[in-house]
């Protein structure tokens, strides 16, 4: 009984809404043409009715529309153009995809309409087309957004997997500790050209390349070289400690990993840069004879795993900035949003899905853990810029 009552109420509301829409169209026609059967000077002429459609509840429904002509041309009706707008329809389709509705089940997710209304726009292909168009436009807007209105203190770059593709993400952090998605590119951190293009684009949009900046990266050699090419001496590189631990431990037998992991943790928790570096060098020497590949992996970029320590950062802020985990945390959102994609046909598709999922996650971004100490990082970067300027002055003075 309750279900039947709700169905009747829905039918009444839809009938009422369609009646209101018809009345609004007739009102506009009367404003353009005057009362029916009148012949006002300078007014348009009624031109019968034609088939039309309006957006209703995530689909299109048939709607008979009045027509008017003036000077041999049809006069567009503003009311009808508003009824036809696809933006609400597209937003609804994208929202349904993001909350887990597949394109095949989109029609079932909508509130039912009365059977006398002919509807369309809910097929799998129609919904998919709208989703692709909307997410592609959203990605284009994100990749063209100006970045020059904030004070940037750190960048994080890492790659996230989507099927067989890897999508690079740049996460920017401003002086307040707020996180912002700055760029996406399909490729790997081993590809220097792709990484350089991604970083150059971010710089072209407003992230300064002539001020000191903390750059947190994994161990990809192409990415490391690209950071140097784009930011030069102004890049303070922090190698992700999670990646470094993983890379070193993979060269060791299972039985020795616990001891080496503990030694790495002790070095990374050291209160100052010199102590931490000494502990890492001691560990590398101890590995030289029995596991030279592990020692070599540890020494590669070893000093750069201690950059946050050298900058004097401690506590939660140091723990946050010593890894690329803030980007890795987006992985859960990507799995949730993109988990229904069974086949990823090309890199552009992977890029759209990863970017869409990441931007959905960004709606609930919080500031970095330890953001109350961001002033320490900002001050350390300013001190370094002042030192670089003084070095230039001293060089000029000595060469004069």
Assessment of whether the complete model's pTM goes beyond 0.75: no
Q: Is the pLDDT of residue 193 over 50?
A: yes
pLDDT confidence tier of residue 89, bands split at 50, 70 and 90: very low
Q: How many CA atoms lie within 13 A of 147 on its CB side?
A: 28
Tell me what pLDDT residue 97 has: 53
Distance from C-alpha of 168 to C-alpha of 185, rounded to nearest angstrom: 5
Q: Is the pLDDT of residue 16 over 50?
A: no
Distance from C-alpha of 202 to C-alpha of 225, rounded to nearest angstrom: 16
Distance from C-alpha of 266 to C-alpha of 289, rounded to nearest angstrom: 22
Q: Quick: pLDDT tens for 278-335.
A: 999 999 999 998 999 999 999 999 999 999 999 999 999 999 999 998 888 787 777 7
**Pairing mode of beta strands 59-70, 179-186:** unpaired
Tell me what pLDDT residue 122 has: 44
State the DSSP code for 313.
-
pLDDT confidence tier of residue 17, bands split at 50, 70 and 90: low
Q: Quick: pLDDT tens for 111-123.
A: 454 454 444 444 4
Distance from C-alpha of 183 to C-alpha of 144, rounded to nearest angstrom: 9
More confident residue, 187 or 336: 187
Distance from C-alpha of 170 to C-alpha of 192, rounded to nearest angstrom: 15
More confident residue, 92 or 44: 44
More confident residue, 336 or 384: 384
Tell me what pLDDT residue 121 has: 44
| Average pLDDT of the segment spanning 379-394 | 87
pLDDT confidence tier of residue 220, bands split at 50, 70 and 90: confident
Tell me what pLDDT residue 130 has: 60
Tell me what pLDDT residue 162 has: 83
Tell me what pLDDT residue 378 has: 94
Q: Which residues pair with 174 in a beta bridge?
A: 152
Which of 115-122's residues contact partners 24+ apart within 8 Å by CB, and which partners?
117/14, 117/18, 117/56, 117/61, 117/62, 118/61, 118/62, 119/56, 119/59, 119/60, 119/61, 119/62, 120/53, 120/59, 120/60, 121/59, 121/60, 121/89, 122/58, 122/59
Q: Residues 136, 125: contact at Cβ < 8 Å?
A: no
pLDDT confidence tier of residue 1, bands split at 50, 70 and 90: very low
Task: Give the angle subtended at the CA of 223 by the CAs of 222 and 227, to the nearest 5°.
Answer: 120
| Average pLDDT of the segment spanning 390-398 | 76
**Average pLDDT score over the chain:** 81
| Average pLDDT of the segment spanning 28-43 | 78
pLDDT confidence tier of residue 88, bands split at 50, 70 and 90: low
Percent of the chain topping pLDDT 90: 43
Tell me what pLDDT residue 109 has: 47
Q: Quick: pLDDT tens for 234-270.
A: 999 999 999 999 999 999 999 999 999 999 999 999 9
326 membership: H or E segment, kind and range: helix 325-328
| Average pLDDT of the segment spanning 53-65 | 68
The separation between the first and the last C-alpha atoms of the chain, rounded to the nearest angstrom, is 96
Tell me what pLDDT residue 45 has: 81
Task: Give the angle subtended at the CA of 313 by the CAs of 309 and 314, to the nearest 5°.
Answer: 95
Distance from C-alpha of 80 to C-alpha of 5, rounded to nearest angstrom: 32
Tell me what pLDDT residue 266 has: 94
Q: Which residues pair with 161 in a beta bridge?
A: 166
**Is the Cα dihedral 173, 177, 181, 182 positive or negative?**
negative
Tell me what pLDDT residue 264 has: 95
| Average pLDDT of the segment spanning 178-207 | 93
More confident residue, 373 or 331: 373
Q: Which residues pair with 157 in a beta bridge?
A: 170
Percent of the chain topping pLDDT 70: 78
Crossing angle of helices 254-268 and 273-288, rounded to 10°: 160
Q: Residues 328, 388: contact at Cβ < 8 Å?
A: no
Distance from C-alpha of 329 to C-alpha of 350, rounded to nearest angstrom: 18
Tell me what pLDDT residue 229 has: 95
Q: Which range has the worst mean pLDDT, 55-59, 171-175, 247-251, 286-290?
A: 55-59
């Amino acid at each position: 009984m309750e279900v039947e009552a709700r169905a009747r109420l829905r039918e009444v509301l839809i009938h009422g809404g369609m009646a209101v829409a018809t009345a609004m169209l007739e009102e506009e026609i009367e404003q353009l043409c005057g009362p029916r059967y009148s012949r006002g000077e300078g007014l348009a002429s009624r031109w019968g009715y034609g088939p039309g459609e309006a957006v209703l509840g995530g689909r299109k429904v048939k709607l008979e529309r009045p027509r008017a002509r003036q000077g041999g041309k049809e006069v567009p009706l503003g009311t009808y153009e508003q009824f036809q707008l696809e933006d609400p329809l597209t937003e609804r389709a994208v929202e349904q995809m993001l909350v887990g509705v597949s394109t095949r089940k989109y029609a079932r997710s909508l509130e039912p309409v009365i059977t006398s209304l002919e509807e369309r726009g809910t097929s799998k292909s129609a919904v998919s087309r709208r989703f692709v168009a909307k997410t592609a436009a959203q990605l284009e807007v994100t990749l063209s957004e100006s970045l020059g209105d904030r004070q940037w203190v750190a960048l994080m770059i890492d790659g996230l997997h989507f099927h067989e593709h890897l999508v690079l993400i740049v996460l920017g952090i401003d002086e307040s500790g707020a996180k912002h998605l700055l760029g996406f590119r399909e490729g790997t951190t081993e590809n220097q050209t792709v990484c350089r293009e991604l970083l150059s684009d971010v710089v072209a949009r407003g992230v300064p390349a002539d001020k000191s900046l903390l750059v947190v990266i994994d161990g990809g050699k192409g990415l490391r070289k690209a950071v140097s090419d784009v930011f030069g001496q102004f890049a303070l590189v922090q190698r992700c400690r999670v990646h470094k631990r993983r890379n070193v431990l993979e060269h060791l037998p299972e039985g020795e990993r616990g001891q080496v992991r503990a030694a790495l943790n002790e070095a990374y928790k050291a209160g100052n840069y010199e102590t931490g570096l000494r502990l890492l060098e001691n560990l590398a020497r101890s590995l030289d004879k029995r596991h030279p590949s592990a020692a070599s992996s540890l020494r590669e970029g070893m000093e750069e795993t201690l950059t946050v320590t050298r900058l004097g950062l401690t506590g939660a802020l140091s723990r946050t900035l010593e890894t690329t985990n803030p980007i890795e945390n987006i992985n859960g959102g990507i799995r949730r949003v993109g988990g229904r994609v069974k086949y990823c046909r090309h890199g552009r598709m992977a890029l759209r899905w990863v970017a869409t999922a990441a931007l959905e996650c960004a709606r609930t971004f919080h500031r970095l853990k330890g953001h109350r100490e961001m002033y320490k990082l900002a001050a350390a970067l300013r001190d370094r810029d002042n030192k670089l300027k003084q070095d230039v002055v001293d060089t000029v003075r000595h060469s004069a």
